[in-house]
Each structure stands twice: as structure tokens, then as C-alpha cells.
Amino acid sequence: MELEWADDLDDRRTAAVRALLTKARGVDGKPEIEPDGPLPGEFSGGRYLLATAGDTLVGVAHVDVSGDAFGRRVAELVVDPDHRRSGHGGALVEALLAEYPDNLRVWAHGDQSGAARLAERFGLTRARELLIMQVDVDDADWPEPTPPDGVSLRTFRPGTDEQAVIDVNARAFDWHPEQGALTVDELTATESEPWFDADGFFLAEKAGRVIGFHWTKVHPPNPAKFGGDAVGEVYVVGVDPEAQGGGLGRALTLAGLRHLRERGLGQVILYVEGDNAPAVAVYRRLGFTPYEIDVQYATPDTP
């Protein structure tokens, strides 16, 4: 096996990475990619570490060198399902750490035992848990949302509401390593994605000012996840810190959940930080239960 760093991918290598990720999605359910589509965002830009055996790409690691909101590089690593348990994952991790010995986070989706063993072998610490929760829509009892006094709910207006959403998002997620850094340009670019639906993007407004939002998403059928059916997602719920504590987050969440149910979806998922006990408790009361855990393993942080 040979390892090679690449700052850019030509058409041939892009096709090889796309094919490997598509194959992994059929087994792991991730990443979100279509056979003829672009590479997913977590594998775009940055740097690539390619593992090849002869003419076959057997593994790839991607490093977001621009870093998260706290300046830590973030890596994704995937080995071809037909070439696993052959040492390729360990070789990729070893090369990653040789290049980036500190300020690095490496995602392990699904909290697999193999990833935990690699982390222990290379001295990585378990730094973050992202909990995926799930609810069967038919089993859920979601009443009409009741916003606080003086607050009204409406849907997103493309071309008008971007800055207001970004302003609330920045205040609501100033602690978050990814979400808090969302920009107007990134939000606008997302509006061209096939899954974007302004009717499923709910805003809370008081005295003409946006103070919260719930952005929903619908995932296409995935043969390795959720019985192969399309699923809805509580994608992002953000409430201005000055408006928190009055039930606005629950009202926004209910508005989105009822919208997803009206679209005929049988299941809804969400992602929440594993140590965010208040949020987990709210979602449990809405019928959600844990489904899976994604883990970030970390090298030491340095200034």
C-alpha cells in the first residue's frame, strides 16, 4: 500500500474518491453522497491523504485545514469496505498524526469498536460525542406549537432573511465548533441544494425581529439506514439567548416536526451534543430516543 498527500484532486482521483465513498455509504449509511454527485462537504477542499494498493484506491482521509470555529483541523477517514481489517485504517491514522500531531479532531461515525481501538493505540482522547436521536412519527404526539406572547411563526423568505438568520445563529451557537461559523454566503449556497425547502424553514419573529428558527431537512432513502426509507431531520434549532427559557425552542421544534409529518415521513432524526443534557431531555419528551453516536477523537491542543 502507498500513501500520498494531495492538495487538489484531478478528475480521475475525484471519481475514485466518489466511488469509494459511495461504496462505503452502502455499508455504513454515510457519508451523504450520490454516485454522480459532487463530493460531500466534509470531503471538499482541504487536503487529501490517499491510500492505494496497485491501481486501487483502498482508503482516503480528508483534512479540513481551515479548521473549526476554534481553529482545530477536522479529519474524516474512510476505508473501502472490501479492504477493511487489513491495516489500512491504522496506516492512514499514523500518517495523519505525523502530519498533524496536535490541534486535530478525527471523526469516527457510529462509535465503532475498531475506531476506539485505533484511538487508544495512537493516544487519541475521546473529545466529543454527537448523539443521533430518532422518533417514529406514528408513535409521536405533537400538539400545535404555542409561541410565547408577542411571537409569531412564519417560513423563510429566500433573498430576504439570510442575514437575520445568520445573526441569530451566531449568537445562539457561539460555543459550537461548526454551526456558529455559518455565513450568509454558505446559507445562500445551501438554498440551491436539492433538499432545501423554504416551507420547512421556520422563523420566530417578535416586533419585526427574527429571534429564532428551525431549519428542517429531508434525507433521501438510504439502504443502510432507517429501513431504506426517506427520513426527516430537525436540522438546526436556534434561539437568540435573550429569548431562551420561554418555550420558544419547543414551539419552533413542534412547527418543524408537524411539517415533516405532513410530508408523509415515517421517521425523524436529529443530532445533539451528547453532553447537552437539557436539550436531550427536551427531545426525549418529544418522543426521541438515542439511535447512534458519532465521536470525535482528539490530539492535544496547543495555542
Task: Could you list the residues known to form a binding site, using ranges.
Answer: 77-79, 178, 217, 233, 237-239, 244-250, 271
DSSP state of 235: E
Q: How many CB atoms lie within 10 A of CB 193?
A: 9
Q: 300, 141, 155, 279: which is closest to 214 by C-alpha?
A: 155
Instruction: Please give the Cα distance from 104 to 101 (Å, whole number).
Output: 7
Burial of 37 (0-12, 13-18, 19+ CB in 10 A): exposed
| Segment (H or E) for 73 | strand 73-79
Q: How far is CA 126 from CA 53, 100, 122, 247, 282, in A?
A: 31, 17, 12, 33, 25
Identify the three-state secondary structure at position 268: strand
Residues of the binding site for acetyl-CoA: 77-79, 237-239, 244-250
Cell of 183: 455565513
Q: Which residues pair with 128 in a beta bridge?
A: 296
Q: Where are the alpha helices (DSSP H) in 108-227?
A: 113-121, 162-172, 184-190
Cell of 284: 426525549
